[in-house]
Amino acid sequence: MGEYKVKEIDIHNVSLRKEATLLINEVFNIGIGADKLLLNTNTRNGKSLYLGAFLDDKLVAVNFFIAHELLYNTINVVAHQSCWSATSKKHRKKGLFSLLINSAKKKLKQLGSSFILGFPNENSAPILLKKLGFRKIPLAKINIPTILLSSLSLRYYLKAIKKDYNLEINNCFIPIESELIDLKQNEYGEKIEVFTSYNNLVWGRETERQTKLGKLSFFHVGGLQVNKPHLLPILFKKILKEKDIDIIQIIGIQHNSVFKLFRGVQSAPKTEPLIIFDLNENTTSATFNFMIGIKDVF
């Protein structure tokens, strides 16, 4: 038996993509189609990285890294999100997950990526945090009830902002929302809805959830682009005018500067945290204006 070798996977190669899909379906006992991986990870900047561990030319583990364009102190940068990590059951406990992550660190640093981000589950989080040098940043959430007295609810949860107020964006990584919208609409189609008003933008998707109060409809905010904070209430009123929903849910990174525009922000301990590994940018004092829509699974 030979040794494991890490190679880049051409995600546009149909046979390689099918091989990766078969592996992921086997590991997670799911049945995704071969196009799912392409639609879920291939951002328009074309810089996503796909790594596989091979043994005697057989693919036995994968880890993909979605390239996200971000704005940081008026400069466009790229960071990569770790996702779709899977190791064949026959090849577990061989260190392949760490091998792929460490290989990605070297490769992405050479390519100029600012940092690696991720939203790990309970299985991968201990390895990433304790062995591979990532740090953790908690998430927070806002649930805006709109089932009754929606106008009063918006008036409470959205702070009254002065016209001359400027959102704090120094040393802040801000997603290019149009890129995220393109990515999610390519995967989910019309389920991804976009609302705009006075140069502010909200995008997301509607779901239904069974709760203690019965079945409720949620509008999950995937991303927020705020250019005129004092006019943000108009945008949320527009959403409620066009959609019959019970709760607007906003989940994002805990110290997201957009949260300063809202009341009722609370911790989200049941949501996977953001993890960061710095490559070409020191982000320890930075803020991440990420909402939950940046996750590979939204």
- State pLDDT tens for residues 132-162: 999 999 999 999 999 888 889 999 999 999 9
Residues 18, 110: contact at Cβ < 8 Å? no
Average pLDDT of the segment spanning 75-87? 97
Mean pLDDT of the chain: 96
pLDDT-derived band at 213, boundaries 50, 70, 90: confident
**Which pLDDT does position 138 carry in this prediction?**
97
Q: Report the amino acid identity of residue 185.
A: Q
| Closest to 286 measured CA to CA, from 172, 134, 150 | 172
pLDDT higher than threshold 70 for residue 18: yes
**Which pLDDT does position 1 carry in this prediction?**
57
| Closest to 133 measured CA to CA, from 277, 267, 298, 282 | 277
Cα-Cα end-to-end distance for the chain: 40
The CA dihedral of 213, 259, 270, 123, to the nearest 10 degrees, is: 150
In this structure, what token pair is assigned to residue 208? 């239904």
Count of positions (residues) in the chain: 298
**Which pLDDT does position 149 carry in this prediction?**
83
242: buried, middle or exposed (CB in 10 Å: 19+, 13-18, 0-12)? Answer: exposed
**Which pLDDT does position 212 carry in this prediction?**
81
pLDDT higher than threshold 80 for residue 179: yes
Neighbours of 284 (CB within 10 A): 8
Q: Which residues pair with 217 in a beta bridge?
A: 208
Residues 83-131 have pLDDT tens digits of 999 999 999 999 999 999 999 999 999 999 999 999 999 989 999 999 9
In this structure, what token pair is assigned to residue 238? 């527009």
Domain boundaries, the chain: 5-113, 138-271+286-294
**Which pLDDT does position 48 carry in this prediction?**
98
Share of the chain above pLDDT 70, in %: 100
Average pLDDT of the segment spanning 157-173? 95
Those residues whose C-beta lies under 8 Å from the C-beta of residue 213, and which sit 6 or more positions away, are: none
Architecture of domain 5-113: 3-Layer(aba) Sandwich (3.40)
Average pLDDT of the segment spanning 165-190? 96
Residues 44-65 have pLDDT tens digits of 999 999 999 999 999 999 999 9
Residues 234-274 have pLDDT tens digits of 999 999 999 999 999 999 999 999 999 999 999 999 999 99
33: buried, middle or exposed (CB in 10 Å: 19+, 13-18, 0-12)? Answer: exposed
CA distance 149 to 156: 11
**Which pLDDT does position 57 carry in this prediction?**
92
Q: Which residues pair with 287 in a beta bridge?
A: 172
CATH topology of domain 138-271+286-294: Aminopeptidase (3.40.630)
pLDDT higher than threshold 90 for residue 205: yes
